[in-house]
Amino acid sequence: MSDLWDIDILNRGKDWVDLKVTLHHPDAGPFPESPGFALQLLLIPAFGWDSSGNRRAPSPLSSEFSEDNYYDAEECADRAKKFVRSVQVYKASNVPFVEKQVHAGVDKRVIERGIARDSDDWESAWENEWRAYWSDPARVPSATYRISVTAPGWIDHIEPGMRFDSASWCPNGPWVNKPRSLTLETPPDTWVKPWLVDFPLSDKPRGTRQMDPQLIESLAASGTPLMGQELATAVAQHKLFLDAGNREGDWQLLSVSGLPLCIYQVYGQSDENKVGAQLVLRMKQIPAGESLRGADIGYADLSGSVCRGVDFGKAILDGCAAVDAFFDGATFDGASLRKVDFSGSSLRGCSFVGADLRGADFEHTDLTGADFGAANLTGARFPGAIFDGVKRDGQVAPTPAKPASARKPAAKKSAAPKKSAAPKKSAAPKKSAAPKKSTAPKKSTAPKKSTDPKKSTTAKKSEPKQKSAPAKKSPAKKSPTKKPAASGSRTKTTSAKR
């Protein structure tokens, strides 16, 4: 079956779990809000593989189903009351998804780049924008669920930070067709500490990183600082580069002898795109006190740079590669930082008040004393980050913010919930991602296979399985946990074709 949804486990307690469901395929339809759909989401990781590629150990929930019926939407709907006490979507954004409207928006973006419909560059430029849409959490529909179960054992196999995809569907609703923004109280038995709840994957251990920060900083500090008129000229040239249609490209992030190397590629780039010059500050420095306030430096290479105390207030840095850099004491108030990769950077004492950080990556960063007041953290990720003294809307994290014991609580092994009689096996999994009952919402017609990027392709149907993930974020596959990248090539794409 085709994958329809991407799922991220955000938090959990004794008998409840918060998870985020993101649209993965145009034909998925609206977000179901039914116990049967919730049960399917809980079952997927119960029958999946761990980050090492090993089959997960049996759990109380998996013992109630077989590999032949755990993905049967109708059977899950019939049996859901035994396992699911309640399900609520308390946040929903960019809904409903209307594919024609999304196509029209992509058309508009390509035309704004000065590319005509009859141009030879139209198809490649269109595909680039289509891929960019699916990689942008600010635009793709998503919903946040709270699922309460009837017995703690039913979520024994679930923990925050797990990521997987699913072809789950709902035969008879209800569905969420309007945006929602509700605030639910975090129960006292939460696994993720209250001061870390707003920071996805913040409970993940720090691990190691294949970079040499001392060498990076010494190389950056040894060169002539970029400042004054020279800095202004470089920013102006970069703006010409962006305006020539060079936004929304892909970064390939490499580690070479402990140093970062970032390669930028724009799909369908022609001679017309070769205007201006991309801002590359790889292992260079901008002196403290310099101002880039309000500047448009999106998709610049800031890897390994030293920018301590620089003012980036209200600047546009969307899509920048800012890995393994030094921004301590810098100001990003009100800045647009969508999909910026800060992985491995030092951001001690930085101010992100009111910043747009949707889709930003803070893996293995040092955020000691940083202020995220009123910042938009939708789709951002913080595995392995240091949170000592971090401020968020009046709440200050303690030091240390993540004590060693802040992992899964060691609980006494309790008896598994009473096992029900073996259910009748379904002859075969349902073969369609779209509900077959007349009460279901109208699905978009499954398109024919084509290389035309406007047409969504449907994968060959097969037994569903949980996918293993690459080291960095990739729209193609995801896994419950993310490992640090080893030395060598590690690819990060800022967009993905669906």
pLDDT at position 469 is 39
Tokens 């390994």 found at: 304
Half-sphere exposure of 88 (CA within 13 A, CB side): 12
Contacts of 458 (CB under 8 A, 6+ apart): 2, 27, 433, 446, 447, 449
Domains of the chain: which residue ranges? 5-97+141-191+412-467, 200-405+473-498
Q: Are 194 and 182 in contact (CB under 8 A)?
A: no
- Please report which confidence band the pLDDT of residue 131 belongs to, taking 50, 70 and 90 as the band edges: confident
pLDDT, tens only, 334-362:
999 999 999 999 999 999 999 999 999 99
Give the per-residue pLDDT at 247.
Answer: 86
DSSP state of 416: P
| Percent above pLDDT 90 for the chain | 60
- Residue 488: Cβ within 10 Å count: 9
pLDDT of residue 48: 74
Sign of CA dihedral 177, 178, 181, 184: negative
Contacts of 75 (CB under 8 A, 6+ apart): 69, 423, 426
> If 0-12 CB within 10 Å is exposed, 13-18 middle and 19+ buried, where does residue 428 land?
exposed
Mean pLDDT score of the chain, rounded to an integer? 82
Identify the DSSP state of 298: T
Q: 278 by DSSP, 3-state: which?
A: coil
Q: Residue 449 pLDDT > 60, yes or no?
A: no
**Alpha-carbon gap, residue 454 to 26, rounded angstroms:** 11
What pLDDT does residue 467 have? Answer: 40
| Confidence tier at 478 by pLDDT (50, 70, 90) | very low
Q: What confidence category does residue 94 fall into, taking pLDDT thresholds of 50, 70 and 90?
A: very high
Question: According to the model, what pLDDT value does residue 473 have?
Answer: 38
Q: Which residue has the tokens 């196999």?
A: 157
Q: In angstroms, rounded to a whole number, what is the distance separating the alpha carbons of residues 53 and 37?
A: 26
CA distances 172 to 5, 34, 240, 476, Å, are 18, 8, 52, 29
3-state SS assignment for residue 82: helix
Q: What pLDDT is recorded for position 124? A: 86
Instruction: Report percent pLDDT > 70 for the chain.
Output: 79
pLDDT for 272 equals 64
pLDDT at 244: 87
Cβ contacts of 251 within 8 Å, gap of 6 or more: 262, 263, 264, 319, 321, 341, 492, 493, 494
CB atoms within 10 A of CB 142: 21
pLDDT at 355: 95
* Secondary structure E strands in 306-437: 391-392, 395-396
Q: Report how far residue 61's alpha carbon sits from residue 170's, in angstroms, rounded to the nearest whole number.
A: 20
State yes or no: pLDDT of 406 exceeds 80.
no
Say whether pLDDT at 434 is over 80.
no
Task: Tell me which of 30 and 71 has the higher pLDDT.
Answer: 30
Residue 346, strand partner residues:
326, 366
Q: Do 29 and 193 contact (CB within 8 A), yes or no?
A: no
Q: What is the pLDDT of residues 237-262, one digit of tens each?
A: 999 999 888 888 899 999 999 999 99
- Whether residue 138 contacts residue 338, with contact meaning beta carbons closer than 8 Å, is answered with yes
The pLDDT confidence band at residue 69, using thresholds 50, 70 and 90, is confident
Predicted confidence at residue 497, as pLDDT, reads 39
Give the mean pLDDT of 443-457: 39
More confident residue, 270 or 18: 18
- Alpha-carbon span 346 to 276, nearest angstrom: 30
Instruction: Tell me the CA end-to-end span of the chain in Å, nearest whole number.
Output: 14
pLDDT of residue 163: 85
pLDDT for position 245: 83
Indicate the pLDDT class of residue 11, thresholds 50, 70 and 90. very high
User: Is 331's pLDDT higher than 80?
Assistant: yes
Q: What is the pLDDT of residues 453-467, one digit of tens each?
A: 334 433 333 334 444
- Our CA angle for 343, 344, 346, nearest 5°, is 110
The predicted-structure confidence for 216-232, as pLDDT tens digits, reads as follows 999 999 999 999 999 99
412 has a pLDDT exceeding 50: no
Over residues 200-204, the mean pLDDT reads 86
| Window from 13-22, 39-48, 394-403 with minimum mean pLDDT | 394-403
